Amino acid sequence: MSNYDPANAKAYNDAIVIRYYTRLSGLTPQERAVLEPLVPEIRDKPLLDLGIGAGRTVPELTAISRDYVGVDYSQGMVDFCRAKYPDIDIRLGDARDMACFETGRFRFVLFSFNGIDTVNHADRLRILKEIHRVLEPGGSFVFSSHSRTPYEARARAEKARPIGEKLRSARDSLIRILASPRPSNPEVRKLANRLRNNPREERTGEYAIVNDPGHDYSLLTYYIHPDRQRRQLLEAGFRDLGPAIDGQGRPVTDCAETPWLYYRARK
């Protein structure tokens, strides 16, 4: 297993990536569908928001409870959030080690927008156990993760693309690189990132580590089938797993179209 975590952590400290997250606001329909049924039981209760990025979820969650802690391991994201929300408890921290929080401290934990997909397999399992630990009995955990099914369909379609078409795309991006061969050119960044990250992709029966186009190919990202994800949750000690939720807010067991699914689990 290659150790791509430092490269992913570096990507989330990159100014261009941080700027992308500063432009996001509000919850998605998928997130509303998964959160709304929980609101009555988490209102005014201790909430932990992991991987807050530039704080997209801060207004929505602090409207549910002011007993709120936001955490991210990117100093750049945390600095931005603290400047934007000076009255909110925002901490620099890593979901892999939450020793700063006592067992059973939170009623609800959110790890939105696939933040958990940034770490390697062993660390993902560690995070699930850490989240289980910091939840109080009966507390809920909501998160999203990239779904392997649509990714595999895309990969098959890409493989089947006629060779002439592939060569034309390669030629077009080469022309764009030669027109401005500087690191500020997104095409140059994409090529450099692909050359570095593509050889570190992995496929196992349980998961795939994919160098997808997100943030100019700067990340290696964890993809998983929903049935495997549910098993990981059960093994971490969670119970009462709701169905995974697709991009339209509908329950699914697997989904060919939605790139990532939301999950809900209870301690």
Ligand X SMILES: C[S@@+](CC[C@H](N)C(=O)[O-])C[C@H]1O[C@@H](n2cnc3c(N)ncnc32)[C@H](O)[C@@H]1O
Question: What is the C-alpha to C-alpha distance for residues 12 and 62, in angstroms, rounded to an integer?
Answer: 24
| Candidate residues 12, 143, 223, 260; the one interacting with ligand X per rule CB under 6 A | 12
Distance of closest approach, residue 164 Cβ to ligand X, in angstroms: 36
95 near ligand X, judged by CB under 6 A: yes
Tell me which residues in 49-88 interact with ligand X (CB under 6 A).
Answer: 50-53, 56-57, 71-74, 77
How far is it, in rounded angstroms, from Cα 139 to Cα 265? 9
Name which of 188 and 233 has its Cβ closer to ligand X. Answer: 233
Cβ 78 to ligand X, closest distance in Å?
9
C-alpha dist (Å) from residue 202 to 36, 106, 124, 184, 205: 36, 34, 15, 29, 10
Q: Which is nearer to ligand X, 24 or 170 (CB)?
A: 24
Output 133 or 176, the one with its CB closest to ligand X.
Answer: 133
> Measured from the CB of residue 195, what is the shortest distance to ligand X in angstroms?
23
* Residues in contact with ligand X, shown as a per-residue x/- string from 100 to 129 under the rule CB under 6 A: ------------xxxx--xx----------
Smallest separation, CB 138 to ligand X (Å):
24
Choice from 1, 16, 24, 167 touching ligand X (CB under 6 A): 24
Binding site for ligand X (CB under 6 A): 12, 21, 24, 50-53, 56-57, 71-74, 77, 94-96, 112-115, 118-119
